[in-house]
Amino acid sequence: MAALLLIASCSLLSAQAWPDQPAARRLDAQRRWAARPFTSYRIALRVEYWGNVCSQEIEATGESIQRIVHNNCQLSWLSVMTVARLFQISEELEHPMPCFVTAQTCSCYRVRASDISFDPQLGYPRLIAYRRETFPNLVHIAYWRRLWQTRQLPDCGPLSPVVRVTITSLSPIG
């Protein structure tokens, strides 16, 4: 009984020491952004991906784009970035993808390892950096079935390079 109480106490103390959950940090940042004293803003950002670099600069009112000042990011997965879109990306990074869909369906799972920092005053995401990592999915029956059938471990693939979105400036308009 004493050992059980000791384990429970240590678990509670460990839980208290855990850092803030990403969703709580994001929600707090979104509250600060919603309380900002302006509605129109100009945002400039730099995107680094797979050895390439591009940049965007837009003017927005609320979350509607009013003017694209500059955009050389001509990628289908990279839309014009408003603060709302940056919050959407940060929220999507909070939820791991359960399976890595390939010929090895669910033998591997994909995790997005991310680092997101928010502006301490206005709350907008200042930096979003992430990469996809794949690992053997030891808790899924597909992993064990594949191991039994092929007698080899699944090739879950290499790590993907880091994608980094950095807000270089954000300023109120008018």
Type of residue numbered 135: F
Contact 42, 58 (CB under 8 A): yes
- Look up the pTM and report it: 0.72
Nearest Cα to Cα of residue 93 among 120, 68, 111, 72: 111
The pLDDT tens digits of the residues spanning 48-65 come to: 988 889 999 999 998 899
Sheet holding 108-118, edge to edge: 64-71, 52-61, 40-49, 163-172, 125-136, 108-118
Q: Distance between CA 98 and CA 155 in Å, rounded? A: 17
Lowest mean pLDDT among 51-65, 73-87, 97-111, 132-146: 97-111
pLDDT of residue 136: 78
Residue 76 reports pLDDT greater than 90: no
State the pLDDT confidence band at 167, using cuts at 50, 70 and 90: very high
pLDDT of residue 134: 76
Residue 121 φ then ψ, to 5°: -90, -55
- Domain spans of the chain? 21-172
Type of residue numbered 143: Y
Contact 82, 71 (CB under 8 A): no
The pLDDT tens digits of the residues spanning 2-45 come to: 444 445 444 443 434 344 588 899 999 999 999 999 999 999 99
Lowest mean pLDDT among 39-43, 49-53, 102-106, 114-118: 102-106
Residues contacting 83, CB < 8 A, separation 6+: 33, 41, 43, 60, 63, 124, 125, 170
State the pLDDT confidence band at 105, using cuts at 50, 70 and 90: low
